[in-house]
Amino acid sequence: MEIIQWVIIILGIVFIATRFMPVKGITHITGQDAKKKQKNKNVQFIDVRTPGEYRSNHHKPFKNIPLAELSKRINELDKEKDVIVICQSGMRSMKAAKVLKKNGFQHVFNVQGGMGAWR
């Protein structure tokens, strides 16, 4: 019985650790670093906030693909191009970056601090 408890504890620790560990291949960048890439034709800018959030405050290069729709709309993106992902605070964009990595995107950038960092 004690062995089963240890196995459950270890599996719980592994599960929690994998949820919070950074995903390999996702680069965190500042808003300023993202701005420097605006004119690059090989970069896709994705805003994963809700349509309402996007309408109230968005910036020119970003296309709105809400996080909840990303998996269904992933074919709208080019896997050969870099992807810069932004949200309000950086949390949803991190989730979106993980989705992109798991779907074969090689160069994924998450804007740390989200829209607040863009200013």
pLDDT tens per residue, the chain (119 residues)? 688 888 888 888 877 766 665 567 799 999 999 999 988 999 999 999 999 999 988 888 899 999 999 999 999 999 999 999 999 998 999 999 999 999 999 999 999 999 888 76
Catalytic entry in 34, 46, 67, 87: 87
pLDDT, residue 117, reads 80
pLDDT, residue 22, reads 59
Q: Is-catalytic flag, 49?
A: no
Three-class secondary structure of residue 33 per DSSP: helix
Domains along the sequence of the chain with CATH: 24-118 (3.40.250.10)
Distance from chain centroid for Cα 77: 14
Q: pTM here?
A: 0.79
- C-alpha to C-alpha distance for 98 and 106, rounded to whole angstroms: 11
Which token pair is 32? Answer: 């300023």
